[in-house]
Amino acid sequence: MDDIRYEKCRKQGRMLYKLINILMKTIKMKTIISEKYISDENYIYAFWHQKIIFPTVALTHVEKKTTLVSPSRDGEIMATILEKYGYEVIRGSSRDQNIKSLVTMLKKLRADYSLGSAVDGPRGPAFEIKPGIIYMAIKSGKKIVPVGGAFKRKYVFEKAWDKFHFPLPFTKGAVVLGDPIEIPKDAIQEEWMEIINNKINEASEKAEVLLND
């Protein structure tokens, strides 16, 4: 990416960060955190790409956090926003089991960083977990926290592969951090992918219920 395009993307990211900050101040948020969650422990946070805004704004209490962002133009915008929210961004691809990205994320987890992971990203299919998160949990020994969220009123990007959710002003929102899940060393990957898949869905379903309370 040339310098002009790079700076343009960074500028767009800074503008979006300011917009999100202003917008979130108008939203009445509810947060439910599992009793098994330990605030000063580092975890792997798992969520759907559609709901990426929730871990972006809800994990401000996590001091050391990182995430993987693609080196694309859209990735540059997202990286700028995430950096503003305190994430140390790793630039790389999760496609084809990118070894360099995987090694970097594992190093961060072992250095007591938490990792945010859109488990169906970067390009889907939507709501289908990729195996990388199970591998990282086993190798790092870190537990996975399923993250779900919901907005009462929202704009849905229908043409996007993930049908991304963006809140409307003055709506209600809810975010749920589920029970931390430890993946055994002898885990059968496909079985635990399904378990994590279901737990993320349960967290989002619980968030939807909270909006009606």
What residues does each domain of the chain span?
3-210
Residue where the block lists tokens 């219920």: 209
End-to-end CA distance of the chain: 47
| Model pTM score | 0.93
Among 60, 62, 47, residue whose Cα is nearest residue 204: 47
* pLDDT tens, per residue, the chain with 213 residues: 567 788 899 899 999 999 999 999 999 999 999 999 999 999 999 999 999 999 988 898 999 999 998 888 788 999 999 999 999 999 887 654 577 888 899 999 999 999 999 999 777 899 999 888 999 999 999 999 999 999 999 999 999 999 999 999 999 999 999 999 999 999 999 999 999 999 999 999 999 999 987
